[in-house]
Structures are given as C-alpha cells and as structure tokens.
Structure 1
C-alpha cells in the first residue's frame, strides 16, 4: 500500500471526528448549508473506501496504520478486506444520507449542532471498528460506539423514557464490551497475537487451543449484547426513543450490526466447530422468531421496524453459524439488502411523523397523492423487505433457501422452517409500512400531510433506488461487494450466481410460499396484533421489566452492602483496616512456610540496653495510663527511643527526621485532645480491649517477623550501587538520602506532603468544630 493511499485512509478515518469537533461552529455559521458541509466528512470517506474496491475485489487486503503507544507496541492499525470494505462503504455511504436527513429532520431544534456532533462521533466510531486490525483498537472503537449511542439515544434527555433507554443500552452493551475485552485477551493468550490479520493468518490455532471454549463464550456474549440477540434483545426497541435519524442509522449500518460483524470476522477462526454451529443457529433462530412475532404486535411504525431488525439480526447470526459457503453468501446479501431497505423505511417513517404528526399505523391512510416521493421510496423498500423479485431482498432470500435446501438433513429442515416463518412475518411488516399509510382513503392527521423537503426525501429515495439497481446489476454487484465479503467471512474464495429474475426451482417455490404466508399475515394484522398481545399479557413481565428489577435489586444490594461496610463508626473502620494489615502480614508467611529464624539475644552495650529500657518504660506507660494526654506523651517516648537507635547505628539524618516527626506528632495530638471534649479515661469493656490488643500484637509481631525475614535474605546491593553512582551525576547532590527523597522519589515525597497537608486541614477542621470558643467566635 503506497503512502498516498495510507494517508487518504487515515484522513478518512479521522474526518468524522474532525467534523464532530467543528459541527457546532458550522451549524451556527451556516444554518442552511451546514448539513451539506458536514456531509463532506462521510463523503470523503466513502470515496476513499470506494477507491479500494479494485484492490480488495482481486483478493488483496489493505494492512496499515500508525504508532499509537510505541512503548507497548500498540498501533492504530487497520485491516481492510472484503468484509471490512463492505461495512465501511455502508457506514460512510448511508452516513452521508443520514447527515443530510438529520439536517432536515431537526431543522430549528435548539440542540441541532450538538446532535450533529454526536452523530459524526458515532459514525467515526463505527467506521474505525469495522476496519480495526489491532485488538486494542477494535475494543476502543467498540466501546466508543456504546458511548456515542448512549448520547444519541438519550439526546432528548429531558424525557425520562429517553434517559432510561440510553442507560439500558449502555448497561447491556457495556457488559458486552467487558466480555469482548476479556475475550480478546483470552484469544491473545491462546494464539500469541494481538491483531486480526495475524489471527486470520493462522485460523486453526484458536480452535485447537484449550482456551477456545472460554474465548467463544466471551465473544458470543459481546456479539449477542451488541446485536440484540435473545435474551438481550430488549434494549433495541427502547432505543427508538432516539430521534429517527439515529434509528435509521443505528438499524441500517451501524451499532446493531457490530455484533454480526464480529461474528463474521471471527468465523474463519472460531467457526467450523460443533459449538459454533449449534449455539449461533439456536440463539439466532430464537431471536428471529421473537423479533418477527413481536413486530406483528406493534402499531407504532418505528417499533414495528425495530422488532423486525431484531429478527433480521437473528437471521444473520443463524446463517453465520450454519457453516456452509452458500449460507454465508445468503447472510452477506441479506446484510446489504437489510441496510438498504431498513434505512429507507426508517427514514420514511420519520418523514411521516415529521409531516403528519403521527406514526401510528391506524392513523395513516391515503397519503400516496400528498407524499408521492415518500410513497415510491417506501414501496421499493417494502417490496425488497418482502422478497419480491428484482430487489436485493429477493436475491438474499433465494440464496438463503438454496443454502438450507442443500443441507438435506433434519437440522437444515428445522432451520428452514424457522426462517420461512420469520421471513413471512417480516414481509408482512414490510408491506404494512410500505403500503398501508399510502393506500385507501385519506384519514385526518394532526398535521396536514405534504411532501417533505429535499433533505428528508433524498435519503430514502436514494437507498430504495440502490436496492433495485444493485439487484439489476447483480453481476457487477457480486464481483465488487458480495463475493469478496463472503470470501472474507468464509475464509476461502466464494462466488455467487443468483439472479434478480425468478427461475423455476424449489428455492423459488419457498420464496412464493413465504410471500403467501406474509400476505396472509398482512391481511390479518389487526387480529394477530390482539392475539399476540393477549399471549404476552398472559406471560407477564419479560426481559425489559426484568432489566428494571435487576437494576432495582442492584441498587438495593449496594445500599445494604454500604450500610454494613460504611457504618459511620471510626473505630470500626480502624479495626477493619488493622485486621487487613495483620492478615496481609501473617498469611503469606504462614501459607508459604516463610517464617524467619528467630535470632539469638544480641550482645548490646550498656547505653544500647538503656535505650531499649526507655522504650519498654514508654510502652508500659502507654498501656497502663488512664489519661489520654499521658498516653500521647508516653507514645512519644517510643519515637524518641527509635530516633536514638538510628543515631547510635550511624544514621543521623533518619534520627533527626524521627525526632522532628515524633515532636510534631505529640504536639499536634496533644493540641487536638485538649481542644475536643473526650472522656478522660477509656471506659471500653474488656472484650473490646482484648480484641484491640490482640490485633495490635498481631500487627506488631507481623511487622517484626517480616523485617527479620527481609534481613535474613541475601542483600541485593543493586539499588544502593545505582544511587551511589548516580546521585551526583544525575541529581548533582552529595547526600544520597536527600537525593533519593527529593529527586529519584520526588513524586512519592510530593504525595507524602499532600497527605500531611490534607491531614493537617482535617485536624484544623476538627479543632474548630469541637472548640466552644471557636463556635462562639463564629456566632459573633
């Protein structure tokens, strides 16, 4: 890859983030032309990625990047093959239309510029995710899509429903993000690589590793939460609280397909196993049925489309896990077709809501004459979603049925039945959204219906046209997009020969059967809605309400744990702290059998014995005194005795420091004790005294034994030699101790000073709060 291509790709990946930064200024200075200017960011990205079609379609992959954290050998790298390129073109191409659509949909909104910033951030995150090569890069962009989607879903933050939906999406997908991180770490441990390109170069290493199963579970959890697979599907319909441009982008080309992208990307290295080919079809099939059935129950057009997206994601997961090349082809074709017709239908629903004031299907009829362009776009997308010939939806459905018919076993037959039922339900919804609002006699709506401005209808008309054009030009479409994408997913060269024109075959017969069932569902939609609603009411609460219960339980548990751990009693906190210290000192030595050898009584000089006697007398005074002030002064005796030992052992600097610390400690503690009203004596019961004394003895003995063990080990003079050799050369100081404290450990010293300062401020606050004179001064 030449430097010009690498620079263009780097600019294309960074342009959306630059656009997000400039969006407020652009929208402020150019309120009418701002959307067109901001659309230049995805336009440049789309052109740059489109320029790579020839290279990628010939079987080559683009690998490159730039250093990010060189010390850790981490780079901001990309790996662009057929799969990454197709996703990148969808993200940037549909992103152009969404930016323009948002410009018309939110025109006049007080926070329009902020929304455009969030949208471009979201676009940049998804674009980076699908081309990422390094594991860390993939994870960062994965999490960034969750954060930016949280901002977009909760854009109307004054509404409680928006805030709840945003939080729900963040919690569910954030949990998946943690699973992804753990999964990538596990894969790295199993394969000793941290890039997707390196992983794909040796596809059998992971499958043969003992870490394959835990890695699989973690990756599936990440993908299932992101792509709303059952039972994590509930967050996606609630995300419809976001403005319609977000819904259209979210469902067609971005976040909800990130999980599917991850599964497709890892299919060559994690697929072709019993677990992969069992778990994915089972969960995908359950998601397909749940999503398509719940879609039939809805009357809100956005919710109908949202639940069919859940069903479509389930279908993609089923096909990815089915394990045949033709199934992968069907998944690839359906993913592209879904992006085109679902993006169109969501924008159509947004136009209906924007121009009529409602999006309930019962309130919308006869809009064909008032909104002709919107009707054409809705009809094209609805027919593609229903799988009518000449549209990309038909190509996908034919390929899917061919793949399942080639299986020839009971498992393939079961999967086929599930997909036929799911496709029929989604066909009914496609017809309902694409036809019902525009046919029949006109019904009154909150606003007089009329065609939207160009920024609104440009997107759906363009996508609907592409849905037809790509099918009619299927040969070029396969060679440029579908075949390279399917080859990347399958891990080997794949070719497609489907035709947009129907031909007599069993697969075509199943397509007709699916359409017939879908038309039947469409005609009986009202009755089915009531029946499904009754069944769901009988079931009671589902995962959505379960999420609320889990969150309430989590809050309740945290309150109770906090009540136990944070009791508000200082004596409890101190006791727990010292128990932990004692355990940390004793347990390692006991568990590893590393207790020190007890030394013999040393031969001490008379003055050394005198210092030890002073320390013992001071200790006796601390224990036996009944007056707190006397105990504080006696405690200082211990410190002075230690300072004398330092002096006798030839460490005058440490001795001087110890004298100063003990003097200040005694003065400060005495000052505090005399200014606060405390009992002059300790009235604790004997059981508390015994507990505290035992803990104190354990801590003291633990420190003593630890120091003995350290001194009995082999002395390593490496640090001493380093500091002695470099104190004057590097820090220009002769006193090695001072140089260590001030230069080599300067940040540690700064931290210690900060701790002392904060402690002093706390003591000052305690003194002022507890002094009657200070209270009197404050009142006067």
Structure 2
C-alpha cells in the first residue's frame, strides 16, 4: 500500500530526468501509472465487500506516536478507485488536450504528485500522516492551478487557493494535537474505540470546530467557497481532476471518516446541516448568473459539496447511503461535464455559453456525453443520478431535523442544479450552429472517449445499480458506522411523495431552463452585490490586516538596533516583573550567600566606572576602550569564582571584539553625536530596572536548594557514552549537539548575510536617494 502511494511521487521525480520522453506522441503512456494503480485497488473490491479491513503500518517517528499507518476499508477504497480511475482518464485526456505544450512533462509531474498525495490522504490511519498528505495536496494543487504562470490571474488564483486550504491544514493539525491530548494516540482506528470518551471531554467542541475548519476550507463551504471558482483559471484537466472528483472531496472524506468518532452530537449535526444547507442553496442560485461554462460548473460543484455536507450532518443510515451514492453520481457527471467543457474550449476557443449552440453537428460523441451527464445531474431516469436524487430526498424527508426547511432547501437546490446541468451539457449542442463555429473541427478520439465512457457509466449504473451496490456502496455505509445489511438499490421506488418531488424537480427545472437564458444582464445584476460577497469582505479584512502589518512593522521594525533591544528588554521587564510581583514564594535567603570580599568590591567599582564612562563619553574609541574594561572586569569575577575556562573565553572574545570595533570605527568620525537627554534618561531607567530584575533573579536562584542529580548524570555518562573527559565540552557537543548545530547554523546564516552586504554595490542614484533619506528606506519598501 505504501508503494502504491509513493508511485505517484516516484513517477513525478523520474519526469525530471526522462520528461522529454512524455512530451511527444508517447505522452499517453503516462496514463499507465494511474491505470496500474486502479487495477491494484480494484482487486480489493471482493475482500472489502466481504467485510475485510486491510491495514498496513510502518514505523516513522515512534517516539511521538507517529507512524505510516494505512487503512483500506469501504470508504477509502471508494475514494482510491475514483482517484486512480478518473486519474487514468484525465492523464489520457491531457495527452491530447495539452499536445505539444512546452511543459507537458511538468504538468504530468504535478498531476502524479497530487495523485500520490490524495491516495496517502484517504488511506492514512494516523492523523499526523493524514495532515502531511493533506498539505501535499494543497502544495501540488497550487502548482496545477497556477500552471499557466505567465497569467497574473492564474497566479492569484493559485495563491488564494493555497492560502485558504493552508489555513485549513493548520486547523487540521491543531485538531490532531488536541485529539491526541484527549486520547493519547494519533491512530484514527484507536480513536474510534474511544469515541464515547472523546465526546464527553471538555475539549470535544473545540476539536470538532477545528476539524470543521479544515473540512470547510478544503471543500469550499460557505463562506470559504470563493477560492474554487477562481481556481477555474487552471487547465481543464486540473478542474476535472481536482475540483470535481478528488481534492474538493478531501474535506468530505475527512467528515465521513470522523463521523463514527465525533458524530452524533448536536454541535456536529446542526453545524453540518446549517453550513451544508447554506452552501448548497447559495451556490446553486449563483449558477443562474454565470455565462462561463467553467463558472457554472464551479458553483454547481460547490452546491453538490454542500449537499454532501448536509447529508453527513443528518447522520442517519439513509443519509449515509445517499451520500455514498451521490459521491459516485457527482464524480461521474461532473467529471464528464468538465471534460466536455474542455473540448468545447479547446476546439472553439470560447466558454461563453451565450455564443455556443449546435455543436452536435460537429462533435456528436461529445454532445452525447454532455447530454447524458446533464440528464444524470438532473436526476432523470434511468441514470444513476435519479437513484441518488431519490435517496437524498428520502434521507431528508425521514430525518427528524427541521424537515420542512430542509426539504424546501434540497428541492430548490436540485431544481437549480438541473438548470445548471442543462445549460452546461445540453445548450452548447442543441439549436442552430453559429456562423463563427462553422469551421470548428471535431476532437480526436483520445479527447472524447473519456467523457463518453464516464457518461455511459452513469447510465449503466442507473440501469444496473447492483453493480455498485455490494461492491462499493454497502462497504461505505459500514465504514460510516451504519448497518448495510438491508440496503438495496433500485431504479423504481414506487409512486410516492419522493417520486412526486422528483417529478416536480424535473418539471420546474426544465421549465426554468427554457425561461431563463444565460446573459450578460444576469451577470451584471449579480455583480451589483459583490460588495457584500464573502470574497470581497475577506479581501477587505485582508487589506486591513496588511495596513495594520505595515503600521506594526514601521513602528517596531524601524531600522534602529537600539530600538529593537529596548523593546525586547521592556517586554522582559514587564513579563518577569509581573511574575515576580505575583509570586508570594519569591524569597531570597541572604544567609546562604557568601561574604563580599574587597577584591569583588574593587572589581565591581571598576566595572561601574567603565559603564558610566562608556555611556557619557563622546569619543567612539574611548567608548570601545571602556567596554573592554567592563569585559576584563567580568573576567576577573569569573576567576574569583573558580571558573578560569570562562575567564579565558571571555578574555579572548572581549579582546577580539575590542580590536574589531577599533578597526571598524577607525574610518568613522572621531566623536559621537549622542541622543537627546530624554532618550538617555529613558534608556538608563530601563537598563537599571532590567539589571535590578536580573540581580534579584540571580539571588533567588542562589537561595534555591542545589540539586546535583543533573550534574551527577553528566559526570557519570560523559566518558562512558560520549567518550569525552571534559564534561563541559561533552555537554556542548554531544548532549546539546542539536542546540549547538542550530547556533552554528545561525552564525553561518549571519556570515552569509554579512558577505552579501560586503559585496553590495549600489548604483549612484540609489546611493544618493538613501543618503537623502538618512539611510532610511521609504515606507513602501519596508
């Protein structure tokens, strides 16, 4: 199973070296990778249908309870088959759609990496592993959405998608850490056995809301939905693969996977019902006001995702059954419509539905695929879409949660989705062919076979639903904690209220299709309300945050090192001072302190004199020399307290520092221009208070009982384990090796920065500009 997941990543890496091989006529061979993976997962249908759950585990970071644990049950198998099956068709379709593209190999690499990340996500049985693959899907989708990187709109869409889904990833990690704090494990299977304890925990609601944040951002739920229509700037294969069948359903998968663990409580059910209900109806209404085929499909996709969230929120076995069927229904018809849209755009160079008609005369197979997909999306028999719609109505009608409002919302949504499906799948192919498209040519078979195949499956599964009933649907319901023994899919459920609602949906939706014609007037009418749209509101919040960040940066990061140090010291004074004042146990035992000798008094007086001379002198060199006196005084204190190694280190560093300062300051003006009196008083008070706090802390530490346990450990193990006789060196190099490595890394980075500054050569106009502004960059450049 791990090999199957890594296959996509390995193929992506191999393309770096053999990518040219997949740019020409043999590019279709890249589809062998997802096809092989599909066949691999296909072989598990029989054992999974018999109730078997296949698990694999590999050690990764056992000390933190993190392993590469994978689980294949009905839910993960369904998603794995969709990821690889539709992935195979998308890979094949891409070989013709992007034929001759300069970066076709790069595109395949992104697709393969995304496929591997999605497989890892749906198969993970460890929350940290799931989080890692979750983030990998966001990163790989960023490259796919922004594939046309010369287009500013594509880059912006990619950044928006990465930003929204990235926030979701952070929320998922927070939820994982919180659930681990509650259960003591990251294993999803182990959490399942602790579901009662989790629901009874005081942090249950917080964990649920964090998980919701991850799922809602990934699955484009209101008000985070706007990133999905923007992502339509990506090539059509990306829209087909990511935004209809895989990535956007990652959030749905997350909710379904954790339903047996966290579901059943009011906060879970009602939140999903409300958010899903608002999303499905809001986005369905938006399809009325779009003329771009991808825009129509994008909003209908968001609406379909809202329906799935709504069904999961209902929490009944009927709702789980409806959700499982609708996942397949939506993947088949929406992937078909996206592929059809890509063909239309590729051949006619437009996606404006007001300019499209009569294309059936040119590309009949594509028209057949589009019409079949539209019929399935409308829920018209004998397609699988009809079964899915009936199950959705039944689940809503038999639920005990706000039935009337829920029924009205779901029926209106289905009517509007029927309209959207007809506009996207039927309108471009019926009517009179416009004059501008008279010379349009039919696409090659590699482009039209995938949508025809998917649309045909929607018809076949509708006529013979038993093909997926036991193999896919029942295992999914079982994985969600339901009883699948009584499930039986059929095309005819009898003449009842549900069937009447289906007839109303078809009748009203069809009438709506003939009455409302897509037009620019409708687009303009919707544009009037953009000011109150979630996207615009979040953009305003983002602008306000940027302005606040600029203010914050200009105030604190103003280019003066002395201000940085003052702020840091002030923060430390306030924080430590507050703790000291509130700590009633903060007592200094003066009797435990040794007596002060004349040598210490003399050295301290010299040190104080050096400090005062450094502060008040107007000579740069004198100030450096006085600082050297301060350093040497500290060396003497180390000697008095039997620390000659520290004294020698201090002496060496201090001497070198004085020499370096003298060399640096040699060519600068001899005298200092000191700051004003108020600034000097402020800095003096701050430094004195800070010194007082440090002194009190040191005295309090000396009054604490000495524990020799740590020292004895190092003394006993330094030579035995680290083979070093100098305990201090062993601690620094071995026991604190990582810390020392970080310190060395910081110094190396600083050295690289200094080297870059030394090599900097400003143009004459830049020198003049910075000189005129006293070496302070302008605000807009900060």
- What TM-score do you get using the length of structure 1 for normalisation? 0.90
* 8 Å Cα contact 2:531/2:537 also seen in 1: no
> Is structure 2 residue 54 aligned with structure 1 residue 93?
no
Query: What pairs up with 1:426-575 in 2 under 5 angstroms?
Result: 426-445=417-436, 448-493=439-484, 495-501=486-492, 503-526=494-517, 530=521, 533-534=524-525, 537=528, 540-575=531-566
CA shift, 1:516, in A, is: 0.3
Between the aligned partners of 2:386 and 2:470, the Cα distance in structure 1 is 18
CA shift, 1:546, in A, is: 2.9
Partner of 1:162: 154
* 8 Å Cα contact 1:595/1:709 also seen in 2: yes
> Is structure 2 residue 229 aligned with structure 1 residue 237?
yes
Q: 1:334 aligns with which of 326, 329, 332?
A: 326
Partner of 1:6: none
Partner of 2:776: none
Between the aligned partners of 2:224 and 2:757, the Cα distance in structure 1 is 51
What secondary structure is seen at the aligned counterpart in 1 of 2:480? helix
Q: Which is further off, 737-746 or 571-580?
A: 737-746
Q: 2:368 aligns with which of 365, 369, 376?
A: 376
* 8 Å Cα contact 2:718/2:724 also seen in 1: yes
Q: 1:762 to 1:694 in 2, by over 3 A?
A: farther
CA shift, 1:453, in A, is: 1.3
Q: Which is further off, 221-230 or 624-633?
A: 624-633
> Is structure 2 residue 602 aligned with structure 1 residue 578?
no
Between the aligned partners of 2:497 and 2:454, the Cα distance in structure 1 is 30
Q: Which is further off, 86-95 or 423-432?
A: 423-432
CA shift, 1:674, in A, is: 4.1
Q: Which is further off, 494-503 or 60-69?
A: 494-503
CA shift, 1:753, in A, is: 7.0
Query: What pairs up with 1:361-760 in 2 under 5 angstroms?
Result: 361-407=353-399, 411-445=402-436, 448-493=439-484, 495-501=486-492, 503-526=494-517, 530=521, 533-534=524-525, 537=528, 540-583=531-574, 585-597=576-588, 599=590, 603=595, 610-615=602-607, 617-618=609-610, 621-622=613-614, 625=617, 627-677=619-669, 679-680=671-672, 682=674, 684-685=676-677, 687-729=678-720, 734-738=725-729, 740=731
Q: Which is further off, 578-587 or 729-738?
A: 729-738
Between the aligned partners of 1:255 and 1:635, the Cα distance in structure 2 is 61
Partner of 1:22: 14
* 8 Å Cα contact 1:365/1:437 also seen in 2: yes
Between the aligned partners of 1:239 and 1:321, the Cα distance in structure 2 is 27
* 8 Å Cα contact 2:631/2:650 also seen in 1: yes
CA shift, 1:239, in A, is: 0.9
Q: Which is further off, 412-421 or 90-99?
A: 412-421
CA shift, 1:60, in A, is: 2.3
Q: 1:756 to 1:372 in 2, by over 3 A?
A: closer
Q: Deviations over 1:342-393 (max 9, x none)?
A: 1011101111111222222222222223212112211211111111111110
CA shift, 1:136, in A, is: 0.4
Partner of 2:773: none
Q: 1:26 to 1:473 in 2, by over 3 A?
A: farther
CA shift, 1:571, in A, is: 2.7
Query: What pairs up with 1:135-214 in 2 under 5 angstroms?
Result: 135-214=127-206
Q: 1:196 to 1:737 in 2, by over 3 A?
A: closer
Partner of 1:78: 70
What secondary structure is seen at the aligned counterpart in 1 of 2:164? helix
Between the aligned partners of 1:763 and 1:36, the Cα distance in structure 2 is 49
Between the aligned partners of 2:428 and 2:756, the Cα distance in structure 1 is 73
* 8 Å Cα contact 1:364/1:445 also seen in 2: no
Q: Deviations over 1:23-42 (max 9, x none)?
A: 35554124445443222221
* 8 Å Cα contact 1:629/1:670 also seen in 2: yes
Root-mean-square deviation over aligned CA pairs? 3.0
Q: 1:352 to 1:204 in 2, by over 3 A?
A: same
- What TM-score do you get using the length of structure 2 for normalisation? 0.90
Between the aligned partners of 2:117 and 2:252, the Cα distance in structure 1 is 16
CA shift, 1:251, in A, is: 2.8
Q: 1:210 to 1:628 in 2, by over 3 A?
A: same
Partner of 2:98: 106
What secondary structure is seen at the aligned counterpart in 1 of 2:165? helix
Residue correspondences, number: 760
Q: 1:231 to 1:604 in 2, by over 3 A?
A: closer
* 8 Å Cα contact 1:230/1:283 also seen in 2: yes
Q: 1:349 to 1:658 in 2, by over 3 A?
A: closer
CA shift, 1:456, in A, is: 0.7
Q: Deviations over 1:371-430 (max 9, x none)?
A: 1211221121111111111111011111122223334x6821221111111111111222
> Is structure 2 residue 273 aligned with structure 1 residue 281?
yes
Partner of 2:108: 116
Between the aligned partners of 1:730 and 1:195, the Cα distance in structure 2 is 35
Partner of 1:3: none
* 8 Å Cα contact 1:280/1:321 also seen in 2: yes
Between the aligned partners of 1:610 and 1:478, the Cα distance in structure 2 is 92
Q: 1:301 to 1:675 in 2, by over 3 A?
A: same
Partner of 2:772: none
CA shift, 1:327, in A, is: 1.7
Q: Which runs of 5+ in 1 are unaligned?
A: 1-8, 770-774, 776-780
* 8 Å Cα contact 2:283/2:303 also seen in 1: yes
> Is structure 2 residue 340 aligned with structure 1 residue 317?
no
Q: Which runs of 5+ in 2 are unaligned?
A: 762-766, 768-782
CA shift, 1:135, in A, is: 0.3
* 8 Å Cα contact 2:353/2:518 also seen in 1: no
Q: 1:673 to 1:760 in 2, by over 3 A?
A: farther
